[in-house]
Chains A and B, each alone.
Chain A
């Protein structure tokens, strides 16, 4: 009994970090047609590099997306676009919806998406050191014969051991 209380109190020592991805290339390969088109961006990273001050083996205690920004690329051509949904997954975890742009995608400035209240099992996804972000973009134009490209930056609040 005493032992279990001791372990619990030690495991209570955690630290919360804000982690921002680099600008990731979010790309849907053309030709594209009216309706929902799938764009993907992959982020490979090492937990050791993200959390150099964690002395012991890194444990992700909790993970939550706090911000999603989708930025147009200067001088790129864009068709007329509608709403956008963003999901994420790692190779070993299920795809989870994390954000929604409940307006037409603006191709002249940064788009800030609203964040899902319910974000399940992101700890395991983040611990996998590889995340695939999936953007479903509604295209209003009939067709577009180029690739569709945006920069994507996602910010996480990550709680680790000390």
Chain B
């Protein structure tokens, strides 16, 4: 009987631990180019990231707020870039890795397969690729850490 309780306790602990690891990605992150900040959140059982800050909010060509002007779907080209969900459908697969998601590049309107690796609690390697992971590009994102005022 004791063994059963022990097994249940270990199972519950490992489940809670896994869920906590999966949620470690939640937060606000800054890509290496420094032109945007992306908030990663959980919707349902998957993880999504949207742009919550832009260095340049205004499109110099139009004088208006930047929109998704390169979207292949013309009907959606007025979607604002601020608030745009560029990371979609990531699943935690263990070992600080989230897979099966996509990343959208508003610069060219293309969507790439993507895998995210957490190097440490404040650093993500985001690898976008087409087809196989070998042919891709990795960018390092840093967590936005709010410093306490002294």
Residues of A within 8 A of B (CB): 35-36, 38, 40, 82-83, 85, 87, 89, 91, 94-95, 97, 100, 102, 114-118, 132, 134, 136, 138
Contacts and interface: CB of A to CB of B under 8 A. Distances in A.
Contact of A116 (B48, B50, B76): B76
Interface in B67-113: 72-76, 78-80, 82-83, 85, 88-89, 102
Contacts of A115: 75
Contacts of B52: 35-36
Interface residues of B, number: 24
* Main secondary structure on B side of the interface with A: strand
B63 interface: no
Interface of B: 41, 43-46, 48, 50-53, 72-76, 78-80, 82-83, 85, 88-89, 102
A35 B73 contact: no
A128 to B, nearest CB: 11
B43 A134 contact: yes
Nearest to B72: A118
